[in-house]
Amino acid sequence: MTMAFSDDTRQELARVIPSARCCRVAELSAFYEMSGFLLGRHNQFLDFNTSSPFVARKILIMLRGLYPDLPTQVLLVRSRSRRSQVCTVRVLGRRSAGQVYQDFKDQSVIDELGVPRKKCCRRAYLRGAFLCGGSITNPERTYHLEISTEQGWLADKILATLGSLDLEAGITERKGSLVVYMKDGGQIASLLSLMGAHSALLHFENVRVMKDMRNQVNRLVNCETANVDKTVKAAVAQLEDIELIDAVIGLEELPPKLREVARLRREHPYASLQELGEMMKPKLSKSGVNYRLRQIRAKARQLDKLVPKS
């Protein structure tokens, strides 16, 4: 279920093709930095590697949109077990590979980390980085999105790009890789929106609303249960005080106001203070009832000291 949501999100993002040239270059540069290589003795090949045919198709579409006459080749290499595969989109020729590579280097950036200057390009860059090395946990379980890379400078760049969009993230190390991660539901929702994963965002937000509602209901139930427990314990203690007074001196010896409260408490052992106040004539406030019960409590403590202990 977790991987299904993550895979669905990647497939949705793989269908997002930027219209602006600068955004296509930015997203392709993310693909190249995450899993690309400049190969050959004379740098005559520029490769984009991915395990997803959907991502490979997107790379090819964007390359052909940017460079209509660009010579390209698509390679598919399967593992011996045939359980995994690598799709390679290859730009052929030293001149063509050099042109694409130089366009990546000529992007307008805002700092030494290489964060794209334009906001639209930053969104496209993060989309490419997520498609290459990202995953997201099904929100029904927990909130967690991450992008993994083996290169420290690239993890720093991804983190800085997220920060430039007012998104909070952290970096941790796992099995030799650096993982840029996000755990806040609201922040993850914002990133999904920025990357253009609108269907995933809708599902994510629906689950988040339901979880928040369940949590709120649970908090209210727990609070109500605690209040009921507190009321019952207080009522039991008040009944014990009343029984002690009655056994030692009799309730008739209490002042009329205290005697009335004692009688009502006996007749309605689990009524709230407000309910007891409503039964009195004239009616009494909750604080007024509480004050009289405290007087009964004080009287019971006085009498308890006089009772011989067996």
Q: Please check whether residues 230 and 92 belong to one and the same domain.
A: no
Q: Please check whether residues 165 and 298 belong to one and the same domain.
A: no
CA triplet 44, 46, 51: central angle to 5 degrees? 145
Is residue 225 situated within a structural domain? yes
Is residue 295 situated within a structural domain? yes
Is residue 211 situated within a structural domain? no
DSSP-based three-state secondary structure for 41? coil
Q: Please check whether residues 95 and 242 belong to one and the same domain.
A: no
Domain end point (choices 149, 165, 196):
196
Domain end point (choices 164, 196, 228):
196
Is residue 212 situated within a structural domain? no
**Total tally of structural domains belonging to the chain:** 2
Q: Please check whether residues 161 and 46 belong to one and the same domain.
A: yes
Domain end point (choices 196, 227, 243):
196
Distance CA 181, CA 195 (A): 16
Q: What is the pLDDT of residue 41?
A: 83
Q: The domain spanning residue 56 has which CATH number? A: 3.10.28.10
Is residue 161 situated within a structural domain? yes
Count CB atoms within 10 A of the CB of residue 289. 24
Q: What is the pLDDT of residue 201?
A: 95
Instruction: Name residue 236's amino acid.
Output: V
Distance CA 51, CA 218 (A): 43
Q: Please check whether residues 192 and 244 belong to one and the same domain.
A: no
Q: Please check whether residues 161 and 120 belong to one and the same domain.
A: yes
Is residue 210 situated within a structural domain? no
Q: Whole-model pTM above 0.85?
A: no
In this structure, the strands spanning 145-149 and 45-50 are: unpaired
Residue 272's domain comprises 217-304
Q: Please check whether residues 171 and 274 belong to one and the same domain.
A: no
Q: Please check whether residues 123 and 237 belong to one and the same domain.
A: no
Q: Please check whether residues 224 and 188 belong to one and the same domain.
A: no
Where the chain has pLDDT below 70, the residues are 1-3, 79-82, 307-310
- Dig out the tokens for 198 from the structure: 């609108």
Separation of first and last alpha carbons in the chain: 67
Report yes or no: 158 and 149 within 8 Å, Cβ to Cβ.
yes
In this predicted model, what pLDDT tens digit does every residue of 270-301 receive, in sequence order?
Answer: 788 888 999 988 899 999 999 999 999 998 88
Strand partners, 171: 180
In this predicted model, what pLDDT tens digit does every residue of 71-92 receive, in sequence order?
Answer: 999 988 876 666 778 899 999 9
Is residue 205 situated within a structural domain? no
Is residue 57 situated within a structural domain? yes
Q: Please check whether residues 168 and 223 belong to one and the same domain.
A: no
Q: Please check whether residues 173 and 289 belong to one and the same domain.
A: no
Q: Please check whether residues 158 and 228 belong to one and the same domain.
A: no
